[in-house]
Amino acid sequence: MQRPQIAIRKLNNSLSKDYFDEMNYRKREWIHQAISELQEKKIIEVKWPKYKEGEEIEKVYLNYEAIDLAYEIAGITPKEQKLKDIQSILTPLSEHPWEWVRNFWNYYNEALSKNQTSGLEIDNPKGYEDLVKTLLFLPTMDEGTMKRVLSHRLFNDTKHIEKHVQSRLVSIYKRFGNIELDTDIEYLDSIGIVENPQITLISGPLIFSSRNLTVNVAELPGGMGLSFETIKKLDIKEINAKAILFIENLTAYHEFLNGKIVLDTLSSSNIANTDQILTIYTGGYPHHALRKLLYKLKDFIHKSDHSVKVYHWGDIDYGGILIFEHLRKNYFSNLMPLFMDEHTYNNYLEYGMPFSSEYANKLTTLLNDDSYSLWHKLIEALVRNKLRLEQEGLVINMNHK
């Protein structure tokens, strides 16, 4: 194997210009002096042209056995050592309680063991120290901890996570997690870090108690908003609803409560009006407060053997389908779609919004997944027309057909 070498005359940089500077011969003397010192330490070997020894260097060779010393003198950490340092920093994640974090560690531990960076910023070990510190703390913190409170607790700086940890944390979760969201705020919320406290909007026949207070939500026109602390401490007493309906869009939620949505799809269930439906606004994937309420509803229905139909109404698009399946897989296995079918899509297609070929490819991947078989006909229609139908656009136009 050929040793690393440089030919002075073939260089095209400041060193070469200084070496051949005819206006200042002392530059060459200084370079020769430095070369001589490195040669004495056996870091390099020098080749001189015939009859010009000591006058003009032809080539400089680096001795392999002196590489570590060369790095030390230059004040540079070798790449191999940088990889080992990052690997050591990440090692505490090997036994993390969350699978996606362990998957992240497994992937990069293997890459680093092969002297591959695989995209890691090996010149920023402090960034990974902060990341690991955050990841190790997350499973121990209270759900719904505000980002700035967490940042101050871990780094004594309310903006440190946002500036130095958030982008790397979210990027890892996107790649190794099993959920697809729209914004960084939603990704952070799904692991318990919130930008600001979220309110859960509900309306309809739900009775719950909290301490010495009993609340019948049905008695409140327009429903109510529940904070995370309220949801955490409430006990569900009764669900007098014939159906539970989750609505993704806020406009659709209010229009539904105002009685402006025709319930043709639900009429077969003997539901006469919205007063018989427990309606909950989701705003997309459930945030931390809503997740707590969904689990309580699920447990109550299971323990009381209460027979109630559960529906979800969202966008007719890739995200709407994934949100529905998330709710079905994690909370209500009997979940049914409302206004999310091929008939509705075709009926309001003129209000659809075009999407890209990349978006179409994401939809097409669902056609190869049997767990999305409920949606295959609708997905085929979406891909065929290259139009998606947002819930808000449907609501605005559905009473004008």
Q: Which of 321, 313, 320 is nearest to 339 (CA)?
A: 313
- The count of other CB atoms within 10 Å of the CB of residue 308 is 18
pLDDT, position 373: 93
Length of the chain: 401
Residues 311-346: tens digit of each pLDDT: 999 999 999 999 999 999 999 999 999 999 999 999
338: its two tokens: 């409302």
Distance separating the N- and C-terminal Cα atoms of the chain? 78
Q: What pLDDT sits at residue 10?
A: 82
Tell the burial category of 249 from Cβ atoms under 10 Å away from its Cβ (0-12, 13-18, 19+). buried
Look-up of token digits 């406290």: 197
pLDDT band of 392, cuts 50, 70, 90: confident
The stretch 60-76 carries a mean pLDDT of 75
User: Quick one: pLDDT at residue 112?
Assistant: 93
Domain coordinates of the chain in residue numbers?
Answer: 5-74, 79-194, 200-398
Q: Is the pLDDT of residue 269 over 60?
A: no
The predicted structure's pLDDT at residue 312: 95
Residue 53's contacts (CB-CB under 8 Å, 6 or more residues apart) are none
What average pLDDT does the segment 66-84 reach?
76
Over range 376-399, report the average pLDDT. 88
Q: Select from 3.40.50.12280, 3.40.1360.10, 3.50.30.40, 3.20.20.80 the CATH code of 200-398.
A: 3.40.1360.10
* Complete DSSP assignment for 12-44: -SHHHHHHT-TT-THHHHHHHHHHHHHHHTTSE
Question: 223 pLDDT band (50/70/90 cuts)?
Answer: very high
CA dihedral 156→159→161→163, nearest 10 degrees, is -130
Report in angstroms the alpha-carbon separations of 85 from 63, 79, 112, 116, 120: 25, 10, 10, 13, 12
Q: Residue 23: what pLDDT?
A: 84
In this structure, what is the dihedral angle of CA atoms 139, 145, 147, 149, given to the nearest 10 degrees? -110
Does the pLDDT at position 272 exceed 60?
Answer: no
pLDDT at 268 over 60: no
Tell whether the model's pLDDT for residue 391 goes beyond 80.
yes
Q: How far apart are CA 195 and CA 148, in angstroms?
A: 8
Q: Could you please report the per-residue DSSP string of 177-210?
A: SS---SSHHHHHHHTTEESS---EEEESSEEEEE
Distance CA 389, CA 401 (A): 16
State mean pLDDT over 237-259.
Answer: 91
For residue 264, name the pLDDT band (cuts at 50, 70, 90): low
**Per-residue pLDDT at 147:** 94
